[in-house]
Structure 1
Amino acid sequence: MRQNPSFAFTDTAELRRVIDANPWMTLVSSTDDGLVASHYAVLLDADRDDLTVVGHVGRPDDMIHGLGTRELLLVVQGPHGYISPGWYGDVASVPTWNFVSIHLSGVPEILSPEENLVVLERLVDRFESAMPSPRGMWTAPNDPDFVHKLERGTIGFRLTPTRVVAKRKLSQNKSDEVVDTIIEQLESSRSPYADPRLPAEMRRAHDAMRTARAEQA
């Protein structure tokens, strides 16, 4: 992902927020047979306050990726959406796509079966907590034999990234008036190609920019 200083995204707390809110990630490895990509839910490591993440892959994806032996790229895709040139007013312009994306790269550590069980339980609890009747990993009719068999079919990993490339392209190069118009159009659902969370993400970024400008004035 090519970086642009205008769209650089480096604040650790904000990066953690986006990672936590977008756990469904793309895992990419470069192997002897070419590029390999898989898709799994990944969470921030509950015991760390940096960008370390934990997750798992199902066997034999660990072998396909060479998990633990080569660099793994995790692609975190945040809110994104199409921006129409018609929202810029009567000026020469072209369409674009606003987005928030984070690339985490490093060689992952393979978790022990006990650690993997903890991660699997966290994953289940994370998403079941939003259900009307949450069902935990150890909840009947699941029994210990079933859960441990499930664990043996997966390989857990912990990735502390050695390289982070993050980009938040949210019309930072446009005037406040144009940004407000774009947010209004997105909030009015006038773009069929936009994540409904995008206007809030734009508002968050631009409110911070405006506050910083006011403090410098």
Structure 2
Amino acid sequence: MRQNPSFAMTDLTELRRVIEQHPWATLVSNAEDGLVSSQYIVLLDEERDDLTVVGHVGRPDDLIHGLGERELLIVMQGPHGYISPGWYGDVAAVPTWNYVAVHLSGVPEILSAEENLRVLERMVDVFEGRMPNPRGMWTLPNDETFVRRLAAGTTGFRLTPTKVVAKRKLSQNKPIATVENILEQLEGTGPYANAELAAEMRRAHEVRKERLP
């Protein structure tokens, strides 16, 4: 992802927030037959306070990606959406797309079977915890044989990134009045209304306002 200083994300707390809120990731590696990608859940490692993430892939994706042997790129996509040139006012303009993305890359560590099982348990708990009647991985009618058989079909990993490229392109290069108009459109009821993107833009522009002289 090409970086632009105006749009760079560097704050660790913000990066962790985006990763935590958008765990559905794309995994990319340069395999023996060329580029390969897969989609899986990744979570921040709860035992670390950096950008280390844990996850799993189903077999044989571990072999296809050469997991643990070569570099893996993990892409997290945050809120994104269309921005109409009509929202800029009476100026020359073209359409664009605002977005938030975090790219982590490095060679992942393969987890032991027990570590992988703990990560799988946590993944289930993270998402089931929002349900009115959560079904944990060990909740009946699941039994140990069932759970361990499923876990054996996966390979867990931990990735501490050696390279981080993160970007939030949210009209930071536009005048404040233009940004406010874009926000009004995104928070409205038009065909490109996007409350989630608007909320992310407001976060970025509050920081921008604080830095203005």
Whichever residue aligns with residue 10 of structure 1, its letter is T
1:81-119 deviation per Cα after TM superposition (whole angstroms, max 9, x unaligned): 000000000111000000000110000000001100110
Task: Give, in angstroms, the shift of residue 191 of structure 1.
Answer: 3.9
**Offset from partner CA, 1:148-205 (integer Å, 9 cap, x none):** 111100000000000001111000000111101101100114243x653100000011
d(CA) in 2 for partners of 1:104, 1:144: 34
Query: What residue number does 1:154 align with?
Result: 154
Tell me the distance in 2 between the aligned counterparts of 1:139 and 1:79: 34
Aligned with 2:200: secondary structure?
Answer: helix
Q: Structure 2: state its 5+ residue gaps.
A: none
| 5+ long unaligned stretches in structure 1 | none
Alignment of 1:23-172 (within 5 A): 23-172=23-172
Identical amino acids, percent of aligned pairs: 70
Query: Which amino acid in the other structure matches residue 164 of structure 1?
Result: V
TM-score normalised by the chain length of structure 2: 0.98
Distance 1:181 1:26 in 2: 33
SS for the counterpart of 1:6 is: coil
Q: Which residue of 2 aligns with 1:3?
A: 3
1:197 and 2:196 aligned: yes
**TM-score, normalised via structure 1 length:** 0.96
TM-aligned CA deviation for residue 32 of structure 1: 1.6
Deviation at 1:132, TM superposition (A): 2.1
Contact persistence 1:54–1:156 (CA under 8 A): yes
RMSD between aligned alpha carbons?
Answer: 1.0
Does the Cα contact within 8 Å between 1:82 and 1:191 map onto a contact in 2?
no
Counterpart AA for 2:195: P
Residue 175 (structure 1) aligns with: 175
Q: Is the contact between residue 187 and residue 194 of structure 2 (CA under 8 Å) also seen in structure 1?
A: no
